[in-house]
Amino acid sequence: MSLHVVLVHPEIHWNTGNAGRTCLAAGATLHLIEPLGFSLGEREVKRAGLDYWEHVDLRVWSQWSDFAAQLPTLGDPWFFSTKGRCAYWDAPLAATPDAVLIFGRETAGLPAALHEQYADRFVTMPMQSGPIRSLNLSTSVGIAVYEVLRQRAVAAR
């Protein structure tokens, strides 16, 4: 079983560092789709991942199309967006052995072309407070990764 987390054009280094730490804890691979809003050499990325960053299974892709060509070999994709129609907890994120969780950049989310191409694969994290537009990217990654682990544990019983 594999688990992949994909950040498409992430802009904030500490979110990426925190996502990397979550991936390491869960045994997931972190994929970053360029362009990035920061350098991977920045000490803030490493600081957010603490001394674990060097152990993160990290793959960097120069563009979405390169990653998309490999996507079918990685597993079932799930796209996270405030525009998703299905709550993440109602989606069968772990229905197949391999899951790919895909997140957009902090300020704009995922490109419209992906919304059109994968409309039936978009899920959302419901929010109960009107003033909140979205959750922090690294928080969303943590919620989604551990929902996959939870669904896998339930299925294994």
> Average pLDDT, whole number, for the chain?
93
User: What is the domain-level CATH number for residue 51?
Assistant: 3.40.1280.10
| Cα–Cα dist 92/55, whole Å | 29
Which residues, 6+ apart, have CB-to-CB distance to 129 below 8 Å?
Answer: none
Among residues 134, 77, 73, 142, which one has the least CA distance to residue 107?
Answer: 134
pLDDT for 90-116, tens place per residue?
999 999 999 999 999 999 999 999 999
With pLDDT > 70 as the criterion, what percentage of the chain qualifies? Answer: 95
What's the average model confidence in pLDDT over 60-72? 97
Domain count for the chain, please give it. 1
Q: What is the mean pLDDT of residues 37-44?
A: 80
Q: What is the pLDDT of residue 88?
A: 96
What does the pLDDT read at residue 99? Answer: 97
Angle at 121 between CA 5 and CA 31, to 5 degrees: 15
Show the domain range for 42: 2-156
Cα–Cα distance between 134 and 111 in angstroms, integer?
Answer: 16
Please state the rounded mean pLDDT for residues 66-77: 97
